Structures are given as structure tokens and as C-alpha cells.
Structure 1
Amino acid sequence: MSRSWPRLALVARFSPLLPVRAMRCVTTCLLLLLFVGASSAQDKATQPPLTRMLFVMDASNSMNAFWGNQPKINTARELLLNALKELEGQPDLELALRLYGHQTPIQPGKQDCDDTKLEVPFSTNSIPAMKSTLQSVRCLGTTPIARSLERSAADFPPTAPKDPRKVRNVIILITDGIEACDEDPCAVSRALQAKGITLKPFVIGVGLDESQKYGLQCVGNYFDASTPELFEHVLKVVVTQALNTTTAQISLMTTDGRPEETDVPVTLYDQRTGKVIQHLMHTMNDRGIPDTLHIDPIHTYKVVAHTVPSSVRHDVVVKPGVHTVIAVDAGTGTLSIKSGSGPSDGVLVQAIVRRSGEGTTLIAQDVGSSQRLRTGTYDLEVLTLPRLLIPDVRIEQGKTTEIAVPRSGVLNVQPSAAGPTAIFSKKDGALTWVADIDPNALRSQVRLLPGTYEVIYRSRSARRTELTLKKEVTIESGRSVTINF
């Protein structure tokens, strides 16, 4: 390549057309590169997620007990092998198998709580090894569920840096007993979810009694398999939920029950961990109905529509393969705060908006703007001098409530000497403090609502109370008044 560049420069001296051709060639190459890059980025954005499914299976001594007409381990092994057969060739899926209670025989007064092992690590071709392991396993020991869950965190390999796919790490725990090593599997499960290592685990209880079920329900999504026939059904349901996303639409409902609110940010959180699952702008599709979303049925959701105040729905559960309509009460109207008549002075004034009777600030809204609010009654505090309180402002569905705030006027205070100065509003013979003025200033300017005021002043050098000076002044919108002391 180094030899071709001098030749190109030499020919260019005798052929003025060559630079034009060269530029065309370069431009074409750049366009091709941009097209390929854009196509690659689009392909990455549309790739389905990678699901990693870790089966954590009980191989403790209790799995030798009969369940129906054969030992539990035989039934569980048989049905799990059938499920694996259906997963062969599934794209974007990696499987792994961890067993516990299968290495050390249980003895009276003695148990091995470290008896848990990742027997088959994750890969896209792990099913043959899983089948071989399941067919040869012997059920010997105790039930260290918490330690098995804790060590499963390291079973999930890190995502490859160049792999753009979203990764879903799923644990499916199959057990016929509760924790036997005085540890807390529920706390371990919560920690795994809070750290984002795994999604909420699936737990299949094999022939458990009521007291045992309660001890496992806090670990994850609990499914009770009280009979071998029910275990087969539950296993299919769990695998389907672990694999699939489903569709839903979020209907933001008006006060009269119509799904017509939109253009609102919406956040879907995992109800248990608080993790953000999706964050989107609510949209109506071409048919004028809420747009369809693809969401993961593995979560229990908290749905927050960011109206003012927020519209929240808790404990939202979606079923795999079933379109779910998530209705959220979110009726709104509009609050329009306008300035009264008179010339504008260009000064920004805000109004604090609160629910009536509540102290929490919802928003500081600019005077001269409009804001959608949930239907209901609000109190406004306009940050003028003096404060303007407007109680019981009613916001109705689909309507605009207009509030006019009088324009302020300007009071100029010019004392002959520095000294303490204060402004009071004067109404019906009563004086109400409005503001203090900087005692060191010889010229001050204060914006006040229209009304009658009294300004009180004493020179700093004056040493007698009777030397206090008072002046009454009337303020009009958009006008300036000066008083001198």
C-alpha cells in the first residue's frame, strides 16, 4: 500500500479527473460503511434476549420416598427429562444443572450443609450432560437450599462484552423439603434479586405439606405440585413462563372509565426489588388505543404513570401467552395560571401546587403556563409578596381551570440613611408583615401585589422610638412608586 500512494499523486498531476473519481470512490465507501454500521446496530437492537435457566434440584435422601407408585426422584427425573427434550434446539437459551444432597450420605446427628454442586455448567448444548447426570444421580444427604441458592450466583457466567443481547438469569428450584441447615433461603433469594444477579426464582414444591409450603413461598414464585400429574403440569407452566415474554397494554383511565389518557411517562418496576424493568412514554397507536408492549411475565409489577401526582397500581401480574390490559386510574384536567392585566415586567413568578389540606409540594408551576393535574381539589400558594393563597381549586376531567394572578407593581424605597425598614400590608385596619428590607441599603426595590401598604423606618443613628417614620403607599399593577425617608 505504501508504494501506491506516490503513484496516485504522480498521475494526479497529469489527470485532473482522478481526484474527482477518487472522491467519488471514497464517498461511496463511506456510505457503504455507514449503511453496514446502521444495519448492524439495528440488528443488535432487535435481537431477542438470552435466557439462562439454572435448574437447582433436590437430590437429598427424602427424594427416595415413594410418591404415587414410585420414588419422588424417579418421577421428577422422568418429567424433567421430558421437559429438556422439548427445549432441545431452542434458540437464545442456555441451561445448567445444580444438585444438592447427592454427595454425602446423611447420618444421625450429622449433615453436610456444603453438599451442593454445579454438575452441568451453562452452555447452548448442555442437555446431553444434564440427561446423563440426572440418570445417574443418587439421593443421599440433606437439604441445603439457602447455600445452593447462594452459590448459584457464581453459576451464571458474565455476559460477553460484545454480546448486545439482554440476559435473563432464571433459577428453577425443585424441592421436596424445606431448608435443613438453619439458614435463610428467603434472604438469599432477595439478595440475588436486589443485586440483579437473577430474576425472581421459580419454586416447585414436590409433595409438601402446608407448613413446608409457607417456608418456601418467600423464596420466589411458588408452585405446588401435590401429585405427580400436577408436577408435570407445573413444570410446563414454569418453563413456559421462564422462556416467554407476553403482551400487555397500559390503559390510563379517565374518571369516567375510558382509556383515553396518554402522553405520560410510565415506569414498570419489579414489585419486590424496586428495579426498573421498563421506562417508556405512554403512546396511542394508529387505531387510537394504547399501544401493545412486550413484557416479561416472570415479574410482579408496580406500574407508575408519572402524572401529577403520580398514578400507581401495585401487584400487577401478567400471564404468559395471554394479552393483559393493565388499567390505571389516571384522569387529568389542566390548570392554567395566567397573569392579570397590565404590562409585563419580565419577572418569573411561580405557584406551589398542593393537594387540598396536604403539606406536600407537588409542583412549582410558572405563572403564565399550563399543567396537567390529576382530577381533584388543590391549594395554590403563589410566590409573590405578599404570598397569594388560592384554596380549593377544582380540576375536572378533560377541562381547563383558569386562575388569574394580579400583576405586581414596584415599590422603590430610598432612605436618607441606613436603618431597619419593613413593609406591612394594610387591610381593614389590620397590619400584616410582608417583608424586611436590607438595613444597609440606601435604595431598595420590591415587587408587591396591588394593595395598600405601610412602610416603617428608623435611621440607624436615631436613638429614640418616636423618631420612627411611617408612610402609607398604594401599589397598582404594572406601576412603580417611590417613597423617600
Structure 2
Amino acid sequence: MKKLKLFHRLLIFSLIGIIFIPVNLKSQARSYSQPLTRILFVFDASFSMYGTWQSGIKMDIAKKLFANFLDSLKNINNLEIGLRCFGHQYNILPNRNCQDTKLEVAIGKPSVCVPLMKNTIDRIVPKGTTPIAFTLEKCGDDFPTDGKTTRNIIILITDGIEECGGDPCAVSLALQSKGIVLKPFVLGIGTVDYSSLNCIGKVYNVAEEATFNNILNIVVSQAMNSTTAQVNLLDIAGKPAETDVTMTFYDQQNGVIRYNYMHTMNNRGIPDTIVLDPLSTYKLVLHTIPQVVKENITIIPGKHNIIAVDAPQGYLNLQVSGINNYQRLQCIVRKKDLMETMNMQDFGKIEKYIVGKYDIEILTLPRIYMSDIDVGQNKTTLIQIPQAGMVSIFKPSEGTGQLFLEEKNKLVWISNLTSSQLNENIVLQPGNYRIIFRTKAAHETIYTVERKFKIESGGAITVKLY
């Protein structure tokens, strides 16, 4: 007995030590702050708890071990706890009550709730059935909605499986998808096959009495503490050499943004350590061009996790030969043979892209289209266009006009002239052009004016429409 008490004290101090160890991320601009954790213990008080465990009746042993464990939570900061029981209000005969569940102690500070929970556990008597699905559904309303940023966790302690035809797996998934709780924990007492509960959350089979408190300590430690990871952004050779990309971790179940990090190489030249909650499954989005997505990422508690993602990148450099006459010239970048715009890149800038083939549309007059642009690993692909020229157009009065490019004995429309402006300056790529114009006051087509002109790189020309 003395050895057991000593072991229990050591576990308590270990747990408290883990909780208060500060997380120092030297390469991060801020330190990680521990959020408020709310744990709802769900205790099975169904009739089957009258069965025997190793040294006696399961209910008596579970009550004693659980009550002793609760004392270790009294002085833990950033923690709130509560208690829901099921199978303790209505007898299993003559008819089982599949809604036999009740929130016995509302979630609150451990210093207040622990005595209340111990008193409740001490007085309840096993009576009824095991409505796990219905109980989990009710748990969704037990967590306070006070606007605080919290981690809501359910720890189910049971000696059986669903007995009322409900679907605890679907209920658990719904709670996670709605962002009400993180993935629950299940402590299965005795030698029952609990594999049907794996879909609820992380299942621990407590086959021996001596392991009950140890497993509870492990579970609470996981519930209270985040763990570390690093993201390896792999280049084309499979080396973790890519960096300087924003990473967003979404909760895979409900799509909520959990973390944003700028990928960083530390002083040793390896990906820096980040902190993640091990209770969630994640979708990672790398904000590269285009985005790279890795789904269903699971984190192993108490271990430094490596997340590897293929993200080989190269560079696209857009330049104008000579002097740039454009106030702001942009280029639409698309994946090869796709119309979706990935990026609007300014000329004079260099942008990073995932290795591959791209099509571009340069927003000059006239438009310049290029396809099969190859971006290679750590290579810079240079796209250079001719220096533009300028045409100054003078009109006798307001009127309707259009600008065309002469191309292979065809007129290709470029733009419409601004009817209300008597003078226009237009920057054009080198080529042969025509303007077709008619004044607003003219009511006969014979007054159509046509002017031909040529634009050369860096040149300027005046066109009079009278």
C-alpha cells in the first residue's frame, strides 16, 4: 500500500512538472501559451459494474481509484473538470432506460469540482444500461459556451459497449466536426473487446487494476500538453531544403484553423520545431504557388513528429528589355492547360513556384501569351518582353474609335478609345496598328477616319484623327 501511494505521488509530481514546463521556441517570435483545457469525465455506473475485476467488484475498485486520482487535479492551472454519469438512475429491469444519463457536476475549477465529484462517485449505485451514444450526444451541451479559447475533451470510463442501438462513432464524429470537442479518450475496464469503440477516439484497455491511475495520468497528460513536430519541405531530390512558406494547420474534422506558422530553418540549418496539439487530426496547407495540401496528419503524443511534404520550388523572373514604360505591368500565371488564375505577378519581381509547367498571360496591349513555361528546382526562369512604345492620339472632337493590331493580313482588336477624351496616350508593344474612328457629330459612314502607324521599342508616335 505504501509503495502504491509513493508511486501515485510520483505520478502527480510528474504530471504537474510536465504541465508547468515552459515551451521555449527560440526561432519563434512568441512563446507558446497553454490554453484552458476542459475535461468532462464520463463515468459508467451501469449494472454491469457489479461484475468482478481482479480483487473485487468493478464499481468499488473504480470508485476508489478514480477518487484518488481526482485529488491530483486540484491545483492544476488552465484546467476545468466536470462529471457526467450514465446507467445510475433507472433499474435495468423490467425495461432498460436508454436515456439514463445525467451531468452530475458541471464543469468548473478543480478545487471546487473535485470534492463534488468524489461525493457523487461515492453515492451512486449501478442500476441500468449503457447508452454510450446518447450520453456522448448530451456531453455536447455540457461544455460552457462563454467565448473562451478552450480545448474540450471527453474521457469515457466504461466496462462495456453500446447497449441501446445507438451509434457512438457517428456522435463522436459529429461533436468533433462541429468543433465542440477534440478526439475523446476511452478507458475500457476489464477484458472486454473494446475494438468497436476505436472510432470514438483513443481507446485504452485497462485490463489490470494497477494500471488504472497510470493510464489516467497518461491520458490527462496528453489532454493537457501539446507536443513537438517539424515540417520537412522536400525538394526534387527528397531533401528538406525548402523553407520560407506559410503553413496553415486546419482541424481535419471541422475545418477550423488551428495554427499558422512561417516555415523556418533554425541555426543548425534544419526545419525549426513547432508545437501542435496531439489530440487533433490535421490538414496542412502550404501557401506555395500553387498550394500544396497534405491531409489526415496524426500526431503521436510525447514524441517529436516529422511531417514530410513534397514542395520542390523554382523561380519565375519577369522583366522588360530596356526602360519599363508601364506604371504597373502584371502577368497572369496559370498551371499548364488550366484556366484558373494562380497568381498575378508584377514585372520586375521574382516569385517562387512549385516545380512544373505553367502558362502565362502578360497584360500588355496587345496581350502576350506564352505556354509551357518550365520552372525547375532552384532555377530561375527568365521571361523578358520587348520595351514598349507609346502612341499619342489626338481627336477633333468626341467620337467612337477602336484600336487594332495588323497581324497576318487580319485586324485583331486591341481596345476601344475613350469617347469623351480628345487626347489619349496608350502604351503598346512593337507592331503595326490601325485606328478606326468617327466623330460623334458625324451621321454618315463616309466620315470614318482610318490611320495606320507603327510602334517600335522605346519609340513614341503621334496620330491625328483629323
Asked if Structure 1 and Structure 2 have the same fold, meaning a TM-score greater than 0.5 normalized by the shorter chain, the answer is yes
Q: Paired residue for 1:98, among 72, 78, 84?
A: 84
Please tell me whether the aligned partners of residues 36 and 78 of structure 2 are also in contact (alpha carbons under 8 angstroms). Answer: yes
Match of 2:293 in 1: 312
Give CA deviations for 1:81-117 in whole Å, capped at 9, x if unaligned: 5754765765544433210121122344562625322
Task: Go from structure 1 to structure 2 and tell me whether the alpha carbon gap of 1:179 and 1:199 turns closer, same or farther (over 3 Å shift).
Answer: farther
Distance between the aligned counterparts of 1:120 and 1:429, measured in 2?
83
Match of 2:376 in 1: 396
Please tell me whether the aligned partners of residues 230 and 271 of structure 2 are also in contact (alpha carbons under 8 angstroms). Answer: yes
Give the partner amino acid of 2:302: G
Please tell me whether the aligned partners of residues 350 and 367 of structure 1 are also in contact (alpha carbons under 8 angstroms). Answer: yes
Match of 1:331 in 2: 312
Q: Name the stretch that deviates more: 74-83 or 422-431.
A: 74-83
Task: State whether structure 2 residue 139 is matched by structure 1 residue 152.
Answer: yes
Distance between the aligned counterparts of 1:244 and 1:453, measured in 2?
70
Distance between the aligned counterparts of 1:293 and 1:449, measured in 2?
49
Task: State whether structure 2 residue 358 is matched by structure 1 residue 378.
Answer: yes
Q: Paired residue for 1:410, among 390, 395, 398?
A: 390
Residue 225 of structure 1 deviates from its aligned partner by 3.3
Match of 1:427 in 2: 407
Match of 1:293 in 2: 274
Task: State whether structure 2 residue 44 is matched by structure 1 residue 58.
Answer: yes
Give CA deviations for 1:388-416 in whole Å, capped at 9, x if unaligned: 11111111111111111223222222232
Q: Structure 2 unaligned segments of length 5 or more: list them.
A: 1-29
Q: Name the stretch that deviates more: 73-82 or 470-479.
A: 73-82
Task: State whether structure 2 residue 154 is matched by structure 1 residue 171.
Answer: yes
How many residue pairs match? The answer is: 432
Q: Name the stretch that deviates more: 322-331 or 50-59.
A: 50-59
Distance between the aligned counterparts of 1:90 and 1:57, measured in 2?
21
Residue 196 of structure 1 deviates from its aligned partner by 4.6
Please tell me whether the aligned partners of residues 100 and 128 of structure 2 are also in contact (alpha carbons under 8 angstroms). Answer: no
Match of 1:201 in 2: 184
Distance between the aligned counterparts of 2:294 and 2:382, measured in 1?
30
Residue 429 of structure 1 deviates from its aligned partner by 1.6
Distance between the aligned counterparts of 1:355 and 1:46, measured in 2?
38
Distance between the aligned counterparts of 1:224 and 1:46, measured in 2?
29
Give the partner amino acid of 2:128: G
Please give the secondary structure, in 2, of the residue aligned with 1:180. coil
Task: Go from structure 1 to structure 2 and tell me whether the alpha carbon gap of 1:396 and 1:421 turns closer, same or farther (over 3 Å shift).
Answer: same
Match of 1:38 in 2: none
Distance between the aligned counterparts of 1:177 and 1:108, measured in 2?
20
Residue 376 of structure 1 deviates from its aligned partner by 0.9
Match of 1:256 in 2: 237
Task: Go from structure 1 to structure 2 and tell me whether the alpha carbon gap of 1:76 and 1:475 turns closer, same or farther (over 3 Å shift).
Answer: farther
Q: Paired residue for 2:327, among 325, 340, 347?
A: 347
Distance between the aligned counterparts of 1:181 and 1:337, measured in 2?
64
Give CA deviations for 1:216-242 in whole Å, capped at 9, x if unaligned: 555x42426395589858656533422
**Higher helix proportion, which one?**
1
Please tell me whether the aligned partners of residues 335 and 358 of structure 2 are also in contact (alpha carbons under 8 angstroms). Answer: yes
Task: Go from structure 1 to structure 2 and tell me whether the alpha carbon gap of 1:140 and 1:339 turns closer, same or farther (over 3 Å shift).
Answer: same
Q: Paired residue for 2:109, among 123, 130, 138?
A: 123
Residue 358 of structure 1 deviates from its aligned partner by 1.1
Give the partner amino acid of 2:152: N
Distance between the aligned counterparts of 2:387 and 2:174, measured in 1?
56
Task: Go from structure 1 to structure 2 and tell me whether the alpha carbon gap of 1:466 and 1:92 turns closer, same or farther (over 3 Å shift).
Answer: closer
Root-mean-square deviation (CA, aligned residues, Å) is: 3.4
Match of 2:367 in 1: 387
Q: Name the stretch that deviates more: 301-310 or 225-234.
A: 225-234
Distance between the aligned counterparts of 2:411 and 2:326, measured in 1?
29
Q: Which has the larger radius of gyration?
A: 1
Please tell me whether the aligned partners of residues 325 and 427 of structure 2 are also in contact (alpha carbons under 8 angstroms). Answer: no
Please tell me whether the aligned partners of residues 140 and 175 of structure 2 are also in contact (alpha carbons under 8 angstroms). Answer: yes
Please tell me whether the aligned partners of residues 314 and 379 of structure 2 are also in contact (alpha carbons under 8 angstroms). Answer: yes
Distance between the aligned counterparts of 2:256 and 2:297, measured in 1?
15
Distance between the aligned counterparts of 2:262 and 2:327, measured in 1?
33
Distance between the aligned counterparts of 1:438 and 1:158, measured in 2?
58
Give the partner amino acid of 2:360: L
Q: Percent identity?
A: 40
Distance between the aligned counterparts of 2:333 and 2:454, measured in 1?
29
Match of 1:133 in 2: 120
Task: State whether structure 2 residue 346 is matched by structure 1 residue 360.
Answer: no
Q: Paired residue for 2:434, among 454, 457, 481?
A: 454
Give CA deviations for 1:3-39 in whole Å, capped at 9, x if unaligned: xxxxxxxxxxxxxxxxxxxxxxxxxxxxxxxxxxxxx
Q: Name the stretch that deviates more: 126-135 or 254-263.
A: 126-135
Please tell me whether the aligned partners of residues 171 and 202 of structure 1 are also in contact (alpha carbons under 8 angstroms). Answer: yes
Task: Go from structure 1 to structure 2 and tell me whether the alpha carbon gap of 1:139 and 1:373 turns closer, same or farther (over 3 Å shift).
Answer: same
Give the partner amino acid of 1:404: Q
Distance between the aligned counterparts of 1:76 and 1:172, measured in 2?
14
Distance between the aligned counterparts of 1:243 and 1:96, measured in 2?
15
Please tell me whether the aligned partners of residues 64 and 139 of structure 1 are also in contact (alpha carbons under 8 angstroms). Answer: yes
Distance between the aligned counterparts of 1:204 and 1:61, measured in 2?
18
Task: State whether structure 2 residue 266 is matched by structure 1 residue 279.
Answer: no
Residue 478 of structure 1 deviates from its aligned partner by 2.8
